[in-house]
Amino acid sequence: MPERHGVAIHLISNSKIPIAKRLYSIPEASIYLVRTVWAVREMVWGGNLSCVKDVRWVLINIEDMNKWIEQNKITFSD
């Protein structure tokens, strides 16, 4: 699976049109956020990170992960 700027790129069936992956499993989200799997679970359980819940799966939207990153940026000044 090719990657572009840290985002997995997928092909739709036999098409050659690449699409960016939108939903990530918790282990994949932990890699994207550079956190442990348990840290991401705690972020979801604590309401700090939204998720999509299916019967069996908990999936994290990449837009929500990017939003969390932006909200938690800090700048160190001299």
Per-residue pLDDT of the chain (78 residues; tens, 9 = 90+): 454 555 565 555 566 666 678 999 999 999 999 999 999 999 999 999 999 998 889 999 999 999 999 999 999 886
Q: What's the pTM?
A: 0.71
- CA dist 34 → 5, 17, 39, 61, 63 (Å): 15, 29, 10, 16, 16
The three-point CA angle 73-75-78 to 5° equals 165
- In CATH, the architecture of 21-78 is Orthogonal Bundle (1.10)
Q: What is the pLDDT of residue 16?
A: 65
Q: Which residue has the tokens 């994949």?
A: 28
